Amino acid sequence: MIEKVAKSAQSAFIHLSALPEEVRNNALKEIASALKLRGDEIEKANNQDLENSIKNNYPQPLVKRLKFDQAKIQEVVDGIQSLIQLPDPIGITLSATELDAGLELYKVTSPIGVIGVIFESRPDALIQISTLCLKSGNAVLLKGGSEAMNTNHILADIIYTASLKAGIPENWMHLLETRSDVNQMLKLDEYIDLIIPRGSNEFVKYIMDNSNISVLGHADGICHVFADQSADIDMAIKVIEDSKCQYVAVCNATETLLVHDKIAAKLLPGLKTVLDKHQVRLIGCQRTAEIIDVELANEQDWKTEYLDYTLSIKIVDNIDEAIQHINTYGSGHTDAIITQDEKEAVKFMNLVDSGDVFWNCSTRFSDGFRYGLGAEVGVSTNKIHARGPVGLEGLMIYKWRLIGNGNIVSDYSSGKKKFTHKKLDKKYPL
């Protein structure tokens, strides 16, 4: 069943990928209009989901994320408008080489193919990811949380209907219904090229463990701030406060503070005063406990993503110990050093093996919108394809396009002709 769906999406992708920018942007405009026009239907469906959630005693934060009212609709419509303004990611010439006179090679961006997206309660994820896929010429299979079933249904219907009206090929988008659909999808590496899971860590881990398809995402966000011996104390307190407290439930919030032994006594008491205002629970190593009042940390704490007002603190003897700690216990997401010493900053940023390495600023900056990527596909802790916050380019790959005039390899292997391999400063001409 899902195999058939995926196959039809693959075949839609071929035609979608070759559509001119204008058609894709017009479809996005149609979608934005349709979402506003059918706002009442959306709210009605969403109210049903909200009622069911309350009836089923779903946790309060989940119910809150589920809510999709006129204000939310305006927000996603604004998002679509700015997506339309972004430059077309398809057809960008990455390199051009003359292999020989009249034999020209172009490396040109193209969409990846069929993207499988699995997300939890927030229905705006459905709109965001399907419009990102449309802009970038990818087909998409979507599965939302069952608690948002009615909202997702109407949203998918609005988007699909509007896109077809604007000339987008049938079957480019499918809404999957059940968990069993997802499990089937995870096996379809013949048709699906990339999976983007959005949700809890356990959920992302489950996806990664149960599919051969490449996964773009992050299971953990165990971020660190290291306060070096030469850190400006006021700056350190300000950045640590922001990194921990500005929004605790997200992947780029800091979970562990590493403090150079030489400034621990100067930094920690003042820091505690600030963190106490946020009622941050402090867990520390033995040496930390000798300076401020903390619960004693165990090995497990260094591996824990609290996603809460909790901070683990460890005092280290030097920057090498800090780097070693991060590379051992971190998740390769975002790690920052606070120091006035440029040499130490260079060392930290070169040797910490994370997607995002920061000097004298908050780990909370690690985000596609703050990075100015225009639209965020997700944050990746992978080490191939895309790393850190991923914009539209994470949905792109390239094709090699070679244009000749009857050229054959035996002329070159026989020595009759020679390759010139001259870089060309021009765009793909076709």
Q: Looking only at residues 98 through 117 of this chain, which bind a copy of itself when binding is defined by CB under 8 A? A: 99, 103, 105, 112-113
Interface pattern 298-327 for a copy of itself (x via CB under 8 A): -------------------------x---x
Q: With contacts defined by CB under 8 A, name the span among 45-53, 62-70, 126-134, 391-399 that binds a copy of itself.
A: 391-399
Q: Find tokens 């040496």 and name the residue.
A: 287
Q: Which two tokens stand for residue 285?
A: 């190593």
Is the CB of 68 or the CB of 191 nearer to a copy of itself?
191
Among 25, 53, 163, 362, binds a copy of itself (CB under 8 A): 362
Window of 40-48, 63-71, 117-125, 404-412 that interacts with a copy of itself by CB under 8 A: 404-412
Q: Which is nearer to a copy of itself, 222 or 345 (CB)?
A: 345
Q: Which helix (H) or strand (E) holds 24?
A: helix 21-37
| Contact with a copy of itself (CB under 8 A) among 87, 372, 415, 416 | 372
Binders in 30-59 for a copy of itself, by CB under 8 A: none
d(CA 118, CA 116): 7
The binder of a copy of itself chosen from 14, 37, 54, 101 (CB under 8 A)? 14
Residue 413 lies near a copy of itself (rule: CB under 8 A): yes
Residues 200-219 that bind a copy of itself (CB under 8 A): 208-209, 212, 214
Least distance (Å) from a copy of itself to the CB of residue 332? 10
Is residue 191 a contact point for a copy of itself (CB under 8 A)?
no
Residues in binding contact with a copy of itself, number by CB under 8 A? 76
380, 372 Cβ separation under 8 angstroms: no
Closest CA to 359 of 236, 251, 222: 236
**Cα gap 218→238, rounded to integer Å:** 27
Which residue lies nearer to a copy of itself by CB, 133 or 291?
Answer: 133
Residue with tokens 């948002």: 148
Say how far apart CA 183 and CA 9 lie, in whole Å.
17
Considering only CA atoms, which of 141, 96, 89, 134 is closest in space to residue 110? 89
410, 415, 416, 418: which one binds a copy of itself (CB under 8 A): 410
Max CA pair span of the chain: 80
In whole angstroms, the minimum distance from the beta carbon of 233 to a copy of itself comes to 11
The residue range among 150-158, 159-167, 297-305, 344-352 that interacts with a copy of itself, by the rule CB under 8 A, is 344-352
For residues 360 and 235, the answer to whether their CB atoms sit within 8 Å is yes
- 255 Cα distance to chain centroid: 19
Angle at 221 between CA 229 and CA 184, to 5 degrees: 165
Position 228 contacts a copy of itself (CB under 8 A):
no
Q: Using the 8-state DSSP alphabet, how is residue 123 labeled?
A: T
In one letter, which amino acid is 203? F
